[in-house]
Amino acid sequence: MFGTVLIGVGGLALLYVTIKILIHAFKSAGILHAIICFLCGIYALYWLFAKYDESDKKNLIIIFVVGIVLYFIGAGMAGASAVAAGGAG
């Protein structure tokens, strides 16, 4: 149960950062770069590190990393509880 909560919190953090990156890409480079950021997460990550020039860049990077860590910890916990409950094999 707690693993799925961590997945949800991590996913919401990643969604927040992604929306901020999409808005910045659209405002500064146009619709094509925003679409590429939406379709390709690696390009959005590149945009965050290389082209995002707002004052909250450091905070977004921290939120992005924390969101990824929470997501993967939650996925591991949810998977482990499913195996312990007899869900795998």
Cβ–Cβ under 8 Å, residues 88 and 13: no
Q: Can you give the pLDDT at residue 32?
A: 92
Helices and strands in the chain: count of H runs, count of E runs: 4, 0
The structural domains of the chain, with segments of one domain joined by +, span 2-82
Contacts of 45 (CB under 8 A, 6+ apart): 64
Reported as a pLDDT band with limits 50, 70 and 90, residue 86 is confident
Q: 7: how many CB neighbours lie within 10 A of its CB?
A: 19
pLDDT in tens, 36-67: 988 988 898 888 888 888 888 899 999 999 99
Direct distance between the N- and C-terminal alpha carbons of the chain, in angstroms, rounded to an integer:
20
Backbone φ, ψ for residue 52 (5° rounding): -75, 115
